[in-house]
Amino acid sequence: MSDDNRVYFFDTTLRDGEQSPGATMNLAEKLRLARQLEVLGVDIMEAGFPASSQGDFEAVQAIARQAGDIQVAGLCRCIPSDIDRCWEAIRDARHPRIHTFLATSALHMKHKLRKEPDEVVRMAVEGVKRCVGYTANVEFSAEDASRSDRDFLCRVVEAVIDAGATTINLPDTVGYAQPDEFAEMIRYVIANTPNSSRAVFSVHCHNDLGCGVANTLAALKAGARQAEVTISGIGERAGNTSLEEVAMALKVRADLYGLEHNIHTEQLYPSCRLLAMTIGQPIPANKAIVGANAFAHESGIHQDGMLKHRETYEIMTPQSVGRSKTDIVLGKHSGRGAIKNKLESLGYDLTDEQLNIVFEAIKNLADKKKKVLDEDVAAIVLEEIYRIPDSIKLRSVSVSTSDSGKIPPTAAVLMDVDGEECSGAGFGVGAVDAVFNVINQIVKREPELESYTVNAVTGGTDAQGEVTVRLRDNGYAAVGRGSHPDVLVAGARAYVNALNRLEKKERDGESKHCQHC
C-alpha cells in the first residue's frame, strides 16, 4: 500500500460521537469500545477532550495507557492550558497525537473568538509550536473551514505547517458544504499552500444536510488522505461521517477511487452492534451497510434475481461487513420462487397444488404481520397441508394479581381437551407464570418455555397485544402466537397454540431436522 493511495481512518466516536445526545459512556464502556476500534483497524482514535472535565481527562488517560499500536489523540483548543492538559492525558500512549483547533471563518472570528485575522494566525502558530514541544505528531484543525475565506485558509495552513503541524484538518463543521464545492476547496488549499506536501490533509464532515459521507469521499478523491469519522455516524446534531459507509464505498468502488485503507471490514457490523448496545440506541433498520434491511429482500422481483445470481441486487456480501447471511424476507411482495426456495430450505417438498395453497396462506398472513418468519411458514405447512384438528382449545381465562406481595398471582382456566371440558386453578410467581402453570396441569405436560415476547399490534392504549412463545418438549420445538387486548389472554392463546403444534409434530412423527421450526 503506497503512501499516495493510503487513507488513514481517524475515529472520533469517543469524543465527537459521545457528544451526541444520549450517547454518554462510562469509563468501562469507553475502554471496551476503544479495544474494538483497534480490532477494527482504525489508525487514530480521538479518545476525548481532556480539558473539558476531570472525568474526560481520566478516561483519555486510561485509554492512552491501554492502547496498543493505534495512535491516540486528545482534542484541545489552541490555548496553552488546554494543550498542557491534553498532553498530560495522552503522554502514556505508545503513539500520542495532540489535536488542536482554532476557528478560521470570518463568522467565527468575529462573533465567537472576537479576534482579528492576524491575531488568529499568531494564536494558531503559537499553539502548534507548544504542541510540538511535547510531540512531533500534531494535528491542526481550521474550525469552520468550509465557510472560511480560501486565501486566508491557505495563509493559516502554511503558517501552522511551518510551525510543525503534520496533519491539517479542514472540517465542514456545520455540514454546510456540498460535495463539488468541498472537493474544490480541498484542491485549492493543497495547490495554493506552498508547503502542503509536508502534511497529510484531513476532513471532518458533519451531516446537517445529509452530505457527510459524500463530502468526505469527494475530498478524498480531491487529495485528502485522512477521514475523520464515527461508528454509525453518531455525533453532534445530525451526526458525523459514518465510518462503515466510507470504508465500504472505498472498497466496493475501488475502481473509482483507487484508494486503500486498513479497516477490517468484517468487524464493521460487530463494532456498530457494540456501540448500539453500549449507548442504548438501536441501529436503524434502513441504515446503510449495517442496518437490519441492508441485506434483506422482500420484493418478488428482487428475490427472483437474488435466487438466480446474488450480484443482481447485492453489490457486496453480508459476510464482508460481518453479517452472517442475506435475508430473503417473506412478505406480501414475495413471489412463488422465494416461497418455494424457503420451503425447500426448511425441508418441505410440496406439489404445485400444495405450493399454491401455502403461497396464498403466506400472502394472507403477510397482510396481518410485517414479517413472516420460518416458524410461520412451518406452521402454515403443518396446518394447511398436514392438517390435524386442534386437540386443545382455550375457552376462558381469569387472572387475579396483587402488588402487596402477600397473595400470589392466581389464574383460573377453562379449556377443551380432546373434546372434554376441563378446568383448573393455581398460583405462579407472576400472572403469566400462573396462567402457564394451570394450562400445564390441565394438559399434563411441562414443556420448556424457550422464549416469551410481547409486542403491540397497533398504537394507542386499546392496542392488541401480540404474544409469541416458543416451547420445546420431547425433542421438538414449536412457536405459538396469540393476540388479544389483554396480554395475559394473548399469552394463554399463544401457549395453547404452541402446545397444539407440538402435538401435531409428535403425531406426524416429524423428522428431527425440522426441530428449528
3-state secondary structure of 398: strand
Confidence of residue 462 (pLDDT cuts 50, 70, 90): very low
pLDDT above 90 (res 391)? no
* Residue in the structure block whose three cell numbers are 500512549: 93
> Treating both helix axes as pointing N-terminal to C-terminal, what angle do 243-252 and 212-222 enclose, rounded to 10 degrees?
50
Q: Provide long-range contacts, Cβ within 8 A and 24+ apart, for 252-256.
A: 252/315, 252/316
pLDDT of 210 = 96
Confidence of residue 374 (pLDDT cuts 50, 70, 90): low
Distance CA 383, CA 515 (A): 17
pLDDT above 60 (res 297)? no
Residue range 472-477: mean pLDDT, rounded: 90
Residue with the bigger pLDDT between 17 and 365: it is: 17
425, 443 Cβ separation under 8 angstroms: no
pLDDT of 31 = 95
Residue range 325-335: mean pLDDT, rounded: 62
Q: How many CB atoms lie within 10 A of CB 234?
A: 24
Distance CA 378, CA 347 (A): 10
From the list 163, 200, 198, the residue with the least C-alpha distance to 83 is: 163
pLDDT of 208 = 96
Residue range 285-298: mean pLDDT, rounded: 74
What does the DSSP 8-state code read for residue 173?
T
**pLDDT digit string, tens, across residues 99-134:** 999 999 999 999 999 999 999 999 999 999 999 999
Confidence of residue 481 (pLDDT cuts 50, 70, 90): confident
From the list 153, 162, 220, the residue with the least C-alpha distance to 188 is: 153
Residue range 258-265: mean pLDDT, rounded: 96
Q: Which three cell numbers stand for residue 12?
A: 472520533
Residue range 240-255: mean pLDDT, rounded: 96
pLDDT above 90 (res 378)? no
Confidence of residue 306 (pLDDT cuts 50, 70, 90): low
pLDDT above 50 (res 145)? yes
* Cα first-last separation, the chain: 48
Confidence of residue 387 (pLDDT cuts 50, 70, 90): low
pLDDT above 50 (res 517)? no
Residue range 30-57: mean pLDDT, rounded: 96
pLDDT of 373 = 66
Residue with the bigger pLDDT between 498 and 184: it is: 184
Q: How many CB atoms lie within 10 A of CB 486?
A: 12
102, 124 Cβ separation under 8 angstroms: yes
pLDDT of 475 = 87
Which strands form 448-456's sheet, in the order they lie side by side?
448-456, 465-473, 476-484
Confidence of residue 349 (pLDDT cuts 50, 70, 90): confident
- Answer yes or no: pTM beyond 0.75: no
Residues with Cβ < 8 Å from 74, sequence gap 6 or more?
46, 47, 48, 49, 50, 60, 64, 86, 87, 89, 90, 96, 97, 98, 99
From the list 220, 184, 182, the residue with the least C-alpha distance to 201 is: 220
% of the chain at pLDDT higher than 90: 61
Strand boundaries in 111-184, DSSP class E: 138-143, 167-169
pLDDT above 60 (res 346)? yes
Confidence of residue 516 (pLDDT cuts 50, 70, 90): very low
Residue range 296-322: mean pLDDT, rounded: 65
Residue range 343-372: mean pLDDT, rounded: 74
Amino acid at 464: Q
Q: What share of the chain is helix, strand, coil (3-state, %, to 5)?
A: 45, 20, 35
Instruction: Report CA 27 to chain centroid distance, whole Å.
Output: 21
Q: What is the mean pLDDT of the chain?
A: 87
pLDDT of 515 = 38
Residue range 82-101: mean pLDDT, rounded: 98
Beta-bridge mates of residue 412:
398, 425
